[in-house]
Amino acid sequence: MTDQNPGSPEQQRALACVLDEIIPPNPDGRLPGAGAIGLGDTLAARPELWPLIEAGIQAIDAIAQQRGATTFAELPRADRRGVLDESVATAPVFLPTLIAQTFVGYYQDAAVREALGLDAGAPFPKGYAVAPTDFSILDPVRRRGAFFREP
Amino acid sequence: MAEQAVDVVIIGAGASGAAFAWSLAETRMRIVCLEQGGWMKPTDYPTNSADWEVRGAGEFATSPNTRGRPADYPINDDDSPIKIANFNAVGGSTILYAAHFPRFKPSDFRVRTLDGVADDWPIDYQTLEPYWAENDVMMGVSGLAGDPAYPPKEVPLPPVPLGKLGETIAGGFNELGWHWWPSDSAIATREYKGRAPCINLGPCITGCSQGAKASTDLTYWPEAERRGVEVRPHCRVREITVDANGMADGVIYYDAEGVEQRLRAEIVVIAANGVGTPRLLLNSASNQFPDGLANRSGLVGRNLMFHPYAMVLGLFDEPLLGYQGPTGCGLWSHEFYETDPGRDCVRGYSFELVRGFGPLTSALWSLSKGELSWGDGHHEAMAGIVDHIGGMMAICEDLPEAHNTVTLDPDLVDGNGIPAPRISYRLSENSRKLLDHGTARATDVLKAAGARRVVSDAPLAMAGWHLMGTARMGRDPEHSVVNEWGRSHDVPNLFIIDGSVFVTSGAVNPCNTIQALALYVADQIKKNIDHLFD
């Protein structure tokens, strides 16, 4: 258990595995998995989320045990997706909530944004230089002439 | 309860209240504007921080129910497929608007004559023309003169650049031979009246950190204050009071500390827009006006019109740099604006360019639309989404229907205990057909522009930005709430100057027309000051 993360080491590992299932690392290594950017600690430290996460981990561990593993994290990667899909029956809020929260955390991560070729920081005050438009592309519209409706 | 007296009290410091105050200030009357929100600090806007997408969906969300700021009042919009969008501050909803700034068109004022539906306005395009021009200068409008979809008009500032995304979609319109034109935008494209030029930050709809967007806290209010108008922020009006003769004699409001105050006034002006205005009138019921102030017609709160929106987005193979440039400003098309006998519906719609989203918004939107999944293949799919989205909104004309209403919720109240509004709205068959037509034609454009897939959402639930019709204007007191210059038929010293006086909705963003109307009403008051209450 870290200072902020209320989970046990096993729970933290399980959560990291779930996050990596939701957004796995890119095969080319350019983008990390969601379990590798510290997002687990951030989510677990949120008091309104932790009970849901804890119950969800309990649910997926139980399903994993039915499949012969001791915990979700012990499952081979190929089996984890099926367990998460199955968890919706016993923990219906866990997976949808975690997917949304993972997306929110992942796509705000500075390293992820930079890897996508986007600015990591605030848009202001840098902004963007956009070239002036050559409005000769309006020529077909101009040739058509006025067409508003007079009462 | 403290009590003061002024000549004019304006309720609401948004688009219309600001324009009206500035214009009327030349009379040297003592004018006070009460605003339930405060002054905004551009440094507080989300684009100052890296988590701008999350903050824009939370504390700067367009729904007051999501934001829940102290300045906001709750709105029960459960009984409407379109949810209310607004903002409460000095500047009102111009703080969050996209600043897409078209005028209404000549035909918008004559839909009964032209198409046999709804009603004609008691004023026309020519009536408002000088006030649009005045407003364009005050707000600092950018665009390009010569749009064949409008009568000739000048535009003070050069247009915002279309960028790669806009030019791509413009190519789609050209391919089909359909009208498009650079939008009139209330965005400074060069330094203008102390405002810095646009630097293409992107999300204008969470507040402009640069100050290039024309919110009225930056445009009209500084000049109105210099002319002597007093703005009192954090003051929420509970009711308008009347004297024994049935004339408005002032307001009761709660100040920033929640203390009840009384402000007497010779003239009361409501600028709270299509939901706030009927709410206040209904909350001002009295023995003399048991059904609500100025409501002898029974029309206060009726005929609520939105613009039903279809959001139609294309996924393109090439990056579009769509996060660069004003979100909702770029180009418009009025190809399908007017009634077409070939369509099974009346009136029409306009198109407005939608630039791209940030990565988080792109991901969540794509997830919700089934365009993106979690798990294996996520990155491959996301690579074809982030910065590959661009599209359009179809903004459909909504016809007035008496059953679409703003009433008072029997249970819900705001932070001062004032009854909150309740919305009841049904999407009409005509609006549904316009949405379908707009979705199909936008799909044509996007495919012609090269989109590999097109995804739509109609009606767009969070698009209740334009709130109109709930205190309509007209010459007949039996069928309207205010006369042709905004004066209440029932209470001669009560004026309404916001979107609630609209007779019909047009099919373009209403802000420019709301402000032109406010300037027009102010001018009528000045011209008729000697016999204003006759």
Contacts of B386 in chain A (CB under 8 A): 116, 118
What is the span of the domain harbouring residue A68? 9-144
Structure confidence by residue, pLDDT tens digits, A12-51: 999 999 999 999 999 898 999 999 999 999 999 999 999 9
Whether B201 and A123 lie within 8 Å, measured CB to CB = yes
Amino acid sitting at position B135? N
**Taking CA atoms, what residue in A is nearest to B362?**
A107
Q: Is B142 helix (H, G, I), strand (E, B) or coil?
A: strand
C-alpha A114/C-alpha A85 separation (Å) is: 31
- Best of B360, B361, B366, B503 to disrupt the A interface (most A CBs within 10 Å) is B360
Domain assignment present for B369: no
Domain assignment present for B176: yes
Domain assignment present for A149: no
CB-CB: which of B177, B200, B338 is closest to A149? B338
Amino acid sitting at position A134? D
Looking at the complex, does the CB of residue A136 fall below 8 Å from at least one CB of chain B? no
Contacting A residues, span 28-87, partner chain B, CB-CB under 8 Å: 31, 81
CB-CB: which of B47, B149, B375 is closest to A147? B149
Whether A148 and B148 lie within 8 Å, measured CB to CB = yes
Minimum distance, in Å, between the CA of residue A43 and any CA atom of chain B: 15
Place of tokens 């081979």: A76
What is the span of the domain harbouring residue B257? 2-356+388-531
Place of tokens 């005028």: B103
| b/e per residue B174-210 (b: at least 16 CB within 10 A) | bebebbbbbbbbbbbbeebeebebbbbbbbbbbbbbb
Domain assignment present for B30: yes
pLDDT of residue A3: 57
Domain assignment present for A1: no
Residue B308: both structure tokens together: 């039903």
CATH number of the domain bearing residue B256: 3.50.50.60
pLDDT of residue B533: 87
Contacts of A141 in chain B (CB under 8 A): 148, 173-174, 179-181
Domain assignment present for B458: yes
Residue B51: both structure tokens together: 């988590």
DSSP line for chain A: --SS--S-HHHHHHHHHHHHHHSPPPTTSSS--GGGTTHHHHHHT-TTTHHHHHHHHHHHHHHHHHTT-SSGGGS-HHHHHHHHHHHTTTSTTHHHHHHHHHHHHHTT-HHHHHHTTS--S-STTT----PPP-GGGGHHHHHH---PPP-
Name residues of chain A where pLDDT drops below 70. 1-3
Closest CA to A15 of A102, A88, A96: A102
- Best of A94, A98, A107 to disrupt the B interface (most B CBs within 10 Å) is A107
Domain assignment present for A110: yes
Domain assignment present for B377: no
Domain assignment present for A150: no
Angle, in degrees to the nearest 10, between helices A77-87 and A50-66: 120
Phi-psi sector, B494: left (phi>0), alpha (psi -120 to 50), beta? beta
pLDDT of residue B1: 67
- Characterize the bridge pairing of strands B494-496 and B260-270: parallel
Q: Is the peptide bond before B148 cis (omega within 30 degrees of 0)?
A: no
pLDDT of residue A1: 44
Domain assignment present for B382: no
C-alpha B210/C-alpha B528 separation (Å) is: 40
Looking at the complex, does the CB of residue A143 fall below 8 Å from at least one CB of chain B? no
What ipTM does this complex have? 0.94
Q: Is B351 helix (H, G, I), strand (E, B) or coil?
A: strand
Structure confidence by residue, pLDDT tens digits, B101-138: 999 999 999 999 999 999 999 999 999 999 999 999 99
Structural domains of chain B, count: 1
Contacts of A17 in chain B (CB under 8 A): none
> For the CA atoms of B262, B264, B268, B271, what is the dihedral angle to 10 degrees?
-30
Structural domains of chain A, count: 1
Q: Is B446 helix (H, G, I), strand (E, B) or coil?
A: helix
pLDDT of residue B476: 98
**Taking CA atoms, what residue in B is nearest to A84?**
B375
C-alpha B322/C-alpha B313 separation (Å) is: 12
Domain assignment present for B373: no
Domain assignment present for B96: yes
Q: Going residue by residue through chain B (534 aa), what tens digit of pLDDT does each one get?
A: 667 999 999 999 999 999 999 999 999 999 999 999 999 999 999 999 999 999 999 999 999 999 999 999 999 999 999 999 999 999 999 999 999 999 999 999 999 999 999 999 999 999 999 999 999 999 999 999 999 999 999 999 999 999 999 999 999 999 999 999 999 999 999 999 999 999 999 999 999 999 999 999 999 999 999 999 999 999 999 999 999 999 999 999 999 999 999 999 999 999 999 999 999 999 999 999 999 999 999 999 999 999 999 999 999 999 999 999 999 999 999 999 999 999 999 999 999 999 989 999 999 999 999 999 999 999 999 999 999 999 999 999 999 999 999 999 999 999 999 999 999 999 999 999 999 999 999 999 999 999 999 999 999 999 999 999 999 999 999 999 999 999 999 999 999 999 999 999 999 999 999 999 999 999 999 999 998 888
As a whole number of Å, the end-to-end CA separation of chain A is 74
Inter-chain CB pairs, A–B, below 8 Å? 157
Q: How many CB atoms lie within 10 A of CB B219?
A: 29
Domain assignment present for A3: no
Residues in a beta bridge with B33:
B10, B231
Contacts of B107 in chain A (CB under 8 A): 148-151
Domain assignment present for A108: yes
Contacts of B338 in chain A (CB under 8 A): 149
Contacts of A148 in chain B (CB under 8 A): 105-107, 148-151, 334
Structure confidence by residue, pLDDT tens digits, B294-308: 999 999 999 999 999
C-alpha B102/C-alpha B143 separation (Å) is: 10
CB B210 within 8 A of CB B186: no
Contacts of A82 in chain B (CB under 8 A): none
CB B189 within 8 A of CB B160: yes
